[in-house]
Amino acid sequence: MTRTRQIGREALLWIGGALGTLCLLSLVAGWAFNVTPLVFASGSMSPTYDAGALGIAQEVPAADLEIGDVVSVVNSKGDRVTHRIVGLQDKGGSSTLRLKGDTNDVVDAELYNVRSADRVVAGVPLAGYAVNAAASPFGLFVAALVAMAALFIGFGSRRDEPQGASPARARLLVPAGLVSAVALGGVVGATGLAPWAFTSAYWTDTATATTTATTPAPVTHAQPVCTSVQGSGQNKQEAKLTWPALGLQYEYYWELWKGTSPGGTLYSSNTIGPAVAPTPINLMFGIVSGGGGNDSYYAKVWTRLVSDHSNVGSPTLTLLHSGPRPNGPNWWMYCGPA
Amino acid sequence: MDRREVDRREVKDRAARRRWFGRGRTRALLSAGMLVGIGAVATSAYWTDAEQVPGTTINSGTMHIDLAANFRQRPESYAWNAFVLTGLTPGTSKSAELPVTNNSRGGVTFSYRIQTSAPGALGAALEVSVYRGATSNGTTCTGGTLLGSANTPINTFDQAAGATLAPTSSHNLCVRVTLPLAAVVPPSSSSAITFTFPATQVNS
């Protein structure tokens, strides 16, 4: 055997042996001490754990968790999230955790309710890259090649040695071992017993935009337009006050006074409800009961806020008068001064 | 036993040891541990939909969601003065565009939501419609994808953008704010509207 071949053979055996031991040790450690290796997939926990760091996490019951611990939990989407506890509510047996990435400005949107969590106790910078590469399809393929090569070197038949007692059995030994080792691993993985976990210490960021909305300053209604309306029949001559509505936030309050402004007697008053702008608001004044004769009247109209019925500004003033019906005994109401 | 026999046995033992150790059978056996590991990783990662997700891309970048022309601001609060909402009378709508950009370092892709809030009586009356990829003419949005439903009360709006943003790409959001005709809001009301864009890294 040449020296180069010898070196290659030894190197393969050592590499295979060391990596295989690591695999077995991590499996055993996982089962015996509830230890899980975690790969940090992003830098949201830097500088404590940079992207690519390999964290060693130990599963602890919820009661042992404290604010400030870095824990790995599974979110509602089934992904692992490894962030720091910033809020904790012990519910006896389980805890509700509020997590935040160290570099994130905002806490995670999701609240995590856990009975136990993997608490990160140590971290190895950059080692996660190696683990991540090994777990990739290519990495698995290469690892399989190395392992198979090591096994064939160790147990395969060699030309320079006399054949053993049962060559057929020896030829079968290596492939059978290979298959059963992979199958054993497959069972471990499929049953969820593999203590390895990968994590996304995911990034969050937030931005806000602000602007201010306002409504216009209060306004008052326009001076009502007064129209002397002539209908048919008794009492149909009326004074109609009209103005455009200001919107649903405004109502109107009016008073009818007998006499000349600002004195006289308050005759009647009422409130007119709001209307969408600029619907015309109509206020009709017929002859008041017992209001015969030539008299002066005036109407005051206020704009009010619907919210608290307070007056906005000063009222408008419209002068009215009562006078005789042109061809009859009755008295009617007209626009304008007497 | 005589001396020759001892010698022969020793030679035999040494030969047996060499057959086992010299050929590296221990190391070879240990390397079978790798096969166990491979089986475990392969099944848990690629066959079952378990919590273990190996092979996630490790990303050493940093994530930045930016509004308008801002670049990598953290934390970011953008005064959206271009969106003028003063003197709103019932029955009016106003709209404006806002670019949302992924300025992350490294290949960090993210998804984000749009949340709105506005306090007070005016805020309680305001309605909002958000479109992704639409244009604004100042009063309404044209084209694009409506997020959620149109004219949602502004204090209940919380919608996913519906599409992820890859690095350096951006969405043009068009936001329309409406004061409904039937709204009863006292004059001189004021409400500071906040548009929040929480973003979360996505692995894919």
Task: Please state whether beta strands A197-199 and A35-40 pair in parallel, antiparallel, or not at all (unpaired).
Answer: parallel
Taking the CA of residue A258 and the nearest CA in chain B, the distance in Å comes to 33
Q: What is the pLDDT of residue B48?
A: 45
Q: Token digits for A24?
A: 């077995």
Residue B113 has pLDDT above 70, yes or no: yes
B29 contacts A21 by C-beta, under 8 angstroms: no
**Chain A, nearest residue to B185 by Cα:** A249
Confidence tier at B56 by pLDDT (50, 70, 90) = low
Per the listing, tokens 């007064």 go with A226
Which residues of chain A have a CB within 8 Å of the CB of B22? none
Q: What is the pLDDT of residue B51?
A: 41
ipTM: 0.77
A309 contacts A217 by C-beta, under 8 angstroms: no
Output the 3-class SS for chain A. Answer: CCHHHHHHHHHHHHHHHHHHHHHHHHHHHHHHHCEEEEEECECCCCCCCCCCCEEEEEEEEHHHCCCCCEEEEECCCCCEEEEEEEEEEECCCCEEEEEECCCCCCCCCCEEEECEEEEEEEEECCHHHHHHHHHCHHHHHHHHHHHHHHHHHHHCCCCCCCCCCCHHHHHHHHHHHHHHHHHHHHHHHHCCCCCCEEECCCCEEEEEEEEEEECCCCCCCCCCEEEEEECCCCCCEEEEEEEECCECCEEEEEEEEECCCCCCEEEEEEEECCECCCCEEEEEECCCCCCCCCEEEEEEEEEEECCCCCEEEEEEEEEEEEEECCCCCCEEEEECCC
Contact state of A16 with B27 under an 8 Å Cβ cutoff = yes
Q: What is the pLDDT of residue A269?
A: 93
User: What's the pTM?
Assistant: 0.71
Contact state of B43 with A186 under an 8 Å Cβ cutoff = yes
Helix (H/G/I), strand (E/B), else coil: B35: helix
In chain A, the N- to C-terminal Cα span, in Å, equals 135
B118 contacts B131 by C-beta, under 8 angstroms: no
Contact state of B57 with A41 under an 8 Å Cβ cutoff = yes
Average pLDDT over residues B76-104: 92
Q: What is the pLDDT of residue B161?
A: 92
Q: What is the pLDDT of residue A253?
A: 96
Q: Token digits for A314?
A: 């000063």
Average pLDDT over residues B166-174: 93
Q: What is the pLDDT of residue A172?
A: 73
Interface probe with A: pick from B19, B34, B170, most Cβ of A within 10 Å: B34
Contact state of B182 with A39 under an 8 Å Cβ cutoff = no
Q: What is the pLDDT of residue A251?
A: 93
Q: What is the pLDDT of residue A199?
A: 60
Q: What is the pLDDT along chain A (338 residues), one digit of tens a residue?
A: 578 888 888 888 888 888 888 888 888 887 788 887 888 877 888 788 888 888 888 888 988 899 999 998 887 777 778 889 999 998 888 899 999 888 888 888 888 998 988 899 888 888 888 877 777 778 888 888 888 888 888 776 655 555 554 556 666 777 777 788 878 777 776 666 666 666 666 778 888 999 999 999 999 999 999 988 876 665 567 889 999 999 888 999 999 998 887 888 898 999 999 998 889 999 988 877 776 778 889 999 999 998 889 999 899 999 998 888 776 667 788 888 87
Which residues of chain B have a CB within 8 Å of the CB of A306? 184
Per the listing, tokens 């008073």 go with A255
Which residues of chain B have a CB within 8 Å of the CB of A105? 74-75
Taking the CA of residue A292 and the nearest CA in chain B, the distance in Å comes to 42
Give the integer Cα–Cα distance in Å for A178 and B190. 75
Of the candidates A134, A153, A177, the beta carbon closest to that of B32 is on: A177
Residue pLDDT, tens place only, A40-70: 877 888 788 888 888 888 888 988 899 999 9
Q: What is the pLDDT of residue B193?
A: 95
Backbone phi, psi, residue A254, to 5° = -125, 155
Residue pLDDT, tens place only, A140-160: 888 888 888 888 887 766 555
Give the integer Cα–Cα distance in Å for A182 and B147. 49
Residue A67 — left, alpha, or beta (φ > 0 → left; ψ -120 to 50 → alpha)?
A: beta
Which residues of chain A have a CB within 8 Å of the CB of B187? 215-219, 249, 305, 312
Give the integer Cα–Cα distance in Å for B38 and A196. 12
Element (H, E) at B80: none
**Chain B, nearest residue to A162 by Cα:** B19
Average pLDDT, chain B: 84
**Chain A, nearest residue to B86 by Cα:** A214
Of the candidates B31, B62, B201, the beta carbon closest to that of A146 is on: B31
Residue B8 has pLDDT above 70, yes or no: yes
Helix (H/G/I), strand (E/B), else coil: B29: helix
Burial class of residue A114 (count of CB atoms within 10 Å of its CB; 0-12, 13-18, 19+)? middle
Taking the CA of residue B34 and the nearest CA in chain A, the distance in Å comes to 4
Residue B110 has pLDDT above 80, yes or no: yes
Contact state of B46 with A137 under an 8 Å Cβ cutoff = yes
A74-78, B78-82, B142-146: least confidently modelled range: A74-78
A23 contacts A150 by C-beta, under 8 angstroms: no
